[in-house]
């Protein structure tokens, strides 16, 4: 019998965090075309990032990617256990994660919170068929440890599109 576990990251895979950060930056006048890659791919204490990530409204107002909403709910309805393993660490983010998933009616198991570059420790116990992640560093760690992992294309991970298994949308994954 086929293992019916999959793992998805939340921000950048299911939730469109990049568009919301773009809107925030445009509203603050911080910098035009500000490169906030480090906000999403490393453990940092950037003042502007911490200000935003500690705002509960930011997390409440995120929108899901359309393909993610459809595909996650399809997989879940087919009896696949969809695990969310996320590196959300600010209290506002953690507190708003389950209500956000419920509010958008995204069917998953209860999310698991971990630090950046610590996801493998949780994921190895889940033993998923595959993982989808937007952080290339996490994908590398997973692949190096024998986990089938895909990088979801985002502007901030473009340098890795040719070197890591990469998908445009969750529809690109052939489950069967």
35: three-class secondary structure by DSSP: coil
Q: Tally Cβ neighbours within 10 Å of residue 155.
A: 9
Whether 125 has a pLDDT exceeding 90, the answer reads yes
Query: Which domains does the chain carry?
Result: 5-17+59-172 (3.40.50.1000)
CB 48 within 8 A of CB 24: no
Q: Is the pLDDT of residue 35 over 90?
A: no
pLDDT at 174: 76
DSSP for 62-114? --B-HHHHHHHHHHHHTT-EEEEEE---SHHHHHHHHHHHHHTT---SPPEE-
Give the per-residue pLDDT at 55: 93
Give the whole-angstrom CA distance, residue 51 versus residue 71.
32
When pLDDT is cut at 50, 70 and 90, the band that residue 1 belongs to is very low
Mean pLDDT of the 14-32 span? 83
CB 86 within 8 A of CB 11: yes
| pLDDT of the residue at 105 | 97
What pLDDT is recorded for position 146? 97
The pLDDT, as a whole number, for residue 9 is 97
Tokens of residue 16, six digits: 């469109």
Query: Nearest-5° angle of CA 8, CA 9, CA 13?
Result: 90
Per-residue confidence (pLDDT) for residue 72, from 0 to 100:
97
Is residue 17 over pLDDT 50?
Answer: yes
pLDDT of the residue at 38: 81
Q: Which three-class secondary structure state does DSSP give residue 33?
A: coil
Q: Can you tell me whether residue 24 is helix, strand or coil?
A: helix
Amino acid 138: pLDDT: 97
What pLDDT was estimated at residue 59? 95
Taken as a whole, the chain contains a residue count of 176
pLDDT tens profile 84-102: 999 998 899 999 999 999 9
* N-terminal to C-terminal alpha carbon distance within the chain: 12
Residues in a beta bridge with 133:
151
Better-predicted residue by pLDDT, 39 or 70? 70
pTM over 0.75: yes
DSSP 59: H
What rounded mean pLDDT belongs to the chain?
A: 91
The residue among 42 and 14 whose pLDDT is bigger is: 14
Reported confidence tier of residue 33, pLDDT bands at 50, 70, 90: low
Helix (H, G, I), strand (E, B) or coil at 17: helix
């Amino acid at each position: 019998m086929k293992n019916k576990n999959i793992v998805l990251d939340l921000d950048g895979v299911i939730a469109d965090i990049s568009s919301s950060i773009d809107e925030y930056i445009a509203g603050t006048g911080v910098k035009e075309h500000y490169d906030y890659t480090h906000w999403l791919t490393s453990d940092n204490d950037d003042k502007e990032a911490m200000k935003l990530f500690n705002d509960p409204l930011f997390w409440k107002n995120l929108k899901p990617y359309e393909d993610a909403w459809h595909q996650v709910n399809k997989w879940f309805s087919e009896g696949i256990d969809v695990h969310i393993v996320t590196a959300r660490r600010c209290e506002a983010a953690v507190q708003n994660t389950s209500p956000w998933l419920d509010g958008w009616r995204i069917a998953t198991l209860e999310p698991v919170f971990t630090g950046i570059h610590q996801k493998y420790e949780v994921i190895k116990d889940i033993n998923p068929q595959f993982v989808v992640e937007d952080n290339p560093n996490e994908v590398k760690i997973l692949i190096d440890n024998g986990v089938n992992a895909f990088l979801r294309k985002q502007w901030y991970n473009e340098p890795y599109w040719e070197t890591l298994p990469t998908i445009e949308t969750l529809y690109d994954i052939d489950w069967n």
